[in-house]
Every structure is written in structure tokens, then in C-alpha cells.
Amino acid sequence: MENRQLYMANKEEKILAIKQLLNIGNLSPEQAYDINLKLCYEYKKYKSDSAVFYTLKNIEIAKQLGNPYLRTKAEIELAWLYSTEGLYIESKELLDNINRANLSPKLLPDYYECYNEFCSHYGQSNGNSVYYTKSDHYRDSLLMVLNPGSLKYQIVQAENRLYKGKRKEAERALLALLEKTTDKNPERAVIAYLLGRMYLDEGNSELQKKYFAISAITDMENSIKDNASMQSLALTFYKNGDVDQAYRYIEAAINDALFCNVRYRTIEGSSFYPIINASFQEKENKQKLELRLYLTLISILSLFLIAGIVYTYKQMKRISKIRKELFRTNEKLSKLNMELQQTNGSLSEANHIKEEYIAHFFDLCSTYIDKLENYRKSLHKKASNSQLDELFKTLKSTSIVETELEELYKSFDTIFLNLYPTFVREFNVLLMPQEQIYPRHGELLNTELRIFALIRLGITDSVKIASFLRYSLRTVYNYRTKVRNKAISRDSFEEMVKEIGTLKRD
């Protein structure tokens, strides 16, 4: 069906090639007659008006030649064409004017075939069964004059058996003929159509559909517009409930009949078209109603979908906002947690330092009390023994204070390095390599290291440092400035000192 225009284009191309032969100069009447006859055969079941045109030309040529054979042959062709176009009076008049007794044996097959077709067409147009009987008689006469070995004879014989009730014989013969032909043979359409008609009478819808389809394919490939297969195929699909295909095929059948100007096919197709068309329109209307319903439902669902999307979008924005707030809160909590950990660490460190120094403080206090008691006893003894010179000498001496200060610094150094054993090494990492500070042999810390040890313990006030070390405020300040100038990073040096070391804990 999709290639119908292609097949018609091939047909037109073939006809054009034959027409071009008429343009050859110095054609004899006989040659022109033969070319017109070929055009008549090409147009015969394609476009009957054109076939009539070239047949009338041949009648004129035959009259000019005074050739009764050629004239009769052309008149038989014209009678056949008139009968297909519904011009039954004109067709019968031509046939009645032919004297069968004087007819050439070569024209008898055409004559009987034409009468057979005329009676069949006329009987279909008025429903008169008398003409069907006459059609059977002319078919019998046709079989008597056809060559028994010809394909036409075998087809007509099988058709004759079918209409006389010999269905099995007809079926075997037609199936055998179908095997011998291809879609390129126009006769294949007639063979398949007869098989379809036979299975239609038997009520076998699948086989009738198959053979009507084969017949229709052959008709389309050969551009045969005078066909019954497409109409029969449409009725088959309609009976099977496939209205869409039925409408498609009946429309194609009527278009073919109109194109070819085959009146009896047009009338026959038009009688079925309203029924199929009504069913098709009813189905289309039903589909349109269903489509409207579906569109309404889809529209409603679309509105719900849009509402859902808007709601989801708002919820996503809300969730996104909540997530951002949670993220910021989490960052704040993480920051607070880190600060808390640092604070806890500092508190823990401070507590540990306090524990260490309190323990050592009590120990020192106890030691100093013992030393003061011994010092008191020594002074009392000298006073009791009237050793006044020794007494005044002892009181004037600073050696005891110096010795105790050394013991105090040594004790501080020991306690501090016990808390921060890596202080000296880490402190020097902060200084330039050539300016690093180390205690002398026998010392734990020197003055510079002791000052920054106090800073590490959190004592940053120079006044307190000076009081503890018994230095002047200027001396402490000079030491701090001198060491800071040796640092790699002067601005952050003391802050970095406060971060030195890890507590050594038991």
C-alpha cells in the first residue's frame, strides 16, 4: 500500500515509452494500429477512458484500411471497455452487430470472453440471474476455443469448476496455478481472488484474508485498478472486526474504481462504503471521546504534578535552608568543642602544674621551716655562749640567702623540666640557628631560659618575673627583648613559647 505511487509511476513510464513509438515518422496504418492496441492493453484495467480513446483510433484505422478483421477486433475490445464503464447499451449494440458466423477463429476467444464479462457485469448491476446463466454459457464456449495448454484456459476451467460446485477440483487446480505464477503475472490476481471467493463461501476467514491479500498485492504491483480483491479484503477485515483496516482498503478500492472509471466496481464498492465508514466514524468518535477523557485526566494529573513539584521545591528549599543552618550550627559546635577541648587541656595543664608546684611548695616550706629552726638554734647557741662576734658576723652574711636562692632556682628548674622535658629543644627551634640558647654544663636552665619558662607557665607580667628572679624590671625587660630579637618570628615569638611542650604526666 505504501508503494502504490511507485507502481503507478512505473506503469506511466511504460505507457510513455509506448506512446513515444507513435512519434516515429512514416508509420504505416498497421504499425499505428499495433501501437494503439498495446496502449489499449496497458490502459485496459488501469484507465479505461484512455483505453477507449486508443481503441476508437484503431476502429478508424481499420475503416480506412477496409480491414474487417482489425475492425472487429477493435470493436470487441471497445464492447469490453463499455461494459466495464457501465455503458451496457453501447456494449451490447457492438456485440449484437458482430456476425459470429463470419467471425475469424482467432477472434472467437476475445468474442466469448467479452460476452462473458458483459453478462457478468450487467447481471451484477441489475441483479438479474438470467445474465449469470448466460455468463456461464459463454464461459463454456470460451473453453471450447481456447488453447488447452494456455494459462487462460486453465484459469477459466478452474473458475468453471468452482461455479459448477466442483470445489475440490477447482481448489487443487487454482493452488497449482498459484504456485506457477508470481506477483509480476497479472493472472495471479485472478487465481488468488478465486481462491479467496471459494474460502469466503466456506466461511474460512483466515484463508480468504490470505488469498484476497495475495490478489490485492498482485493488482497493486501491476497497477490494475479494475480489481475486486481490495474490496473483498476490506469486507473480510470488517467482518473480523478490524474497522481501521477495512476503511483503509474500501477507500483504496473506491479510489481505484473511480480512477479507472469502472462503473460497476464503483457502484459495488459504494454499497459497502457507508456501512464501513459509519463503523469507522463511530470508532473514531469513540476514540476522540476517550482521547478527550484521557486529556482531561492528564490535565488534572499535570496540575497535581505541578502542585507536587512546587510543594517539593518549597520543601527542598526549606530543607536546604535547615541543612545550611544545621551546617553552620555544627561548625559553631565544632569550633566550640575545639575551644572547649583547648580550654579543658589548658585547665588540665594548669591543674597539673598547680598539683606539681603545690606538692613542691609544701615540701620546700617544710624544708625551709627545718632550716629556719636550725638557723634559730645556731643563733641561740651563739647568743647563749656570748659569741657576739660570731653572731653579728653570721647575721651580716648573705651567703645563706644566696645559697637558698640557688636551691630555689634549682628546684624550679627541676620541677619545670620534669613538666616540660622538651622545653629547651623546642624553644631553640623558634630561634635562628646561630642565636640558639643552651644552659652551661651543670645547669638545668639559665636566666634567659628561666624567664621564658615562667612565661610558658603563664606568668607574663615582667614585674612578677623580676620579683621571682630577684632582678630589676629593666633587666627582665632587656632579657625578653634580647631573646625576642633572636627569634625567627619576632611578633608571635612569645605566643609560640606558650604553646611549647607536652606535659609529662605520671
> Which tens digit of pLDDT belongs to each residue from 327-357?
887 787 778 777 666 656 555 655 555 555 5
How many whole angstroms separate alpha carbon 408 and alpha carbon 252?
124
Mean pLDDT, range 313-337, rounded to an integer:
81
> Which CATH entry fits the domain spanning 165-261: 1.20.1070, 1.10.3470, 1.25.40, 2.30.29?
1.25.40
Instruction: Give the pLDDT confidence score for residue 343 in this predicted structure.
Output: 58
Geometric angle at alpha carbon 116, from 111 and 117, rounded to 5°: 100
b (16+ CB within 10 A) / e for 219-253 = bbbbbbbbbbbbbbbbbbbbeeeebebbbbbbbbb
DSSP 8-class letter at 441: T
Instruction: Give the pLDDT confidence score for residue 397 in this predicted structure.
Output: 62
The tens digit of pLDDT for each residue in 194-244 reads: 999 899 888 898 999 999 999 999 999 999 988 888 888 888 888 888 888
- In the chain, what are the domain boundaries? 1-145, 165-261, 279-386, 398-497
Phi-psi group of 420: left, alpha or beta (phi > 0 → left; psi -120 to 50 → alpha; rest → beta): beta
- pLDDT for residue 276 is more than 80: no
Class of domain 1-145: mainly alpha
- pLDDT for residue 273 is more than 70: no
- pLDDT for residue 380 is more than 70: no
Pick from 134-148, 405-419, 478-492: least confident: 405-419
How many whole angstroms separate alpha carbon 424 and alpha carbon 450?
10
Structure-block grid coordinates of residue 458: 603563664
Closest CA to 459 of 497, 421, 492: 497
Domains 1-145 and 165-261 agree in fold = yes
Mean pLDDT, range 140-151, rounded to an integer:
92
How many whole angstroms separate alpha carbon 342 and alpha carbon 329?
19
The tens digit of pLDDT for each residue in 87-118 reads: 989 999 999 999 888 899 999 999 999 999 89
- Give how far Cα 319 sits from Cα of 65, 304, 322, Å: 103, 22, 5
Quickly tell me which residue has 654544663 as its cell: 441
How many whole angstroms separate alpha carbon 48 and alpha carbon 36?
14
Instruction: Give the pLDDT confidence score for residue 271 in this predicted structure.
Output: 60
How many whole angstroms separate alpha carbon 79 and alpha carbon 114?
7
What's phi and psi for 502, nearest 5 deg? -120, 135
